[in-house]
Amino acid sequence: MNQAQNEALINLMLAARFSDKKISLSESDAFQKHVDNLAWESGTSRDIFVQQATAAVRKALSAEEATRQFLERQCGAFIDSEQKRNAFRIIESLALTDGMDPKENKFLMQVRTLLGV
């Protein structure tokens, strides 16, 4: 994945974490593991990016239309079907870390549709 895709994946993982309005320790650990495994090629550190993205993601999730637009932008970063499948696999595994909530399920269905996987 390129840097824009890494950033989109982090944004989508954050959105998945916040979609059920519950943050568990296991989910936090899984998120950090995924972030640490990304090839990072930015002048901004991963930690700073995550801090900045967290506020943006929370704002995007505050209204249905803003959420739709946000998800469309993030999902649009993935070009080919392999990238889309890999991104969805990571997002889904993160959401499943602490069990599946109906809100998480709805979020995952939106992402799956937008990615076309």
Q: Where are the domains of the chain?
A: 3-115
Residue type (1 letter), 78: F
Q: Which residue, among 83, 98, 94, 77, has the nearest Cα to 32 in the 3D structure?
A: 94
Residue 4, Cβ neighbours under 10 Å: how many?
13
The pLDDT-based confidence of 28 (bands split at 50, 70, 90) is very high
Long-range contacts of 109-115 (CB under 8 A, 24+ apart): 110/68, 110/71, 111/12, 111/16, 111/71, 111/75, 112/88, 114/71, 114/72, 114/75, 114/76, 115/75, 115/78, 115/84, 115/85, 115/87, 115/88
What is the average pLDDT value for the chain, to the nearest integer? 95
pLDDT at position 85: 98
CB 6 within 8 A of CB 38: yes
**Proportion of the chain above pLDDT 70, given as a percent:** 100
pLDDT in tens, 53-77: 999 999 999 999 999 999 999 999 9
Which stretches of the chain are DSSP H helices?
3-19, 25-36, 46-60, 64-75, 81-96, 102-115
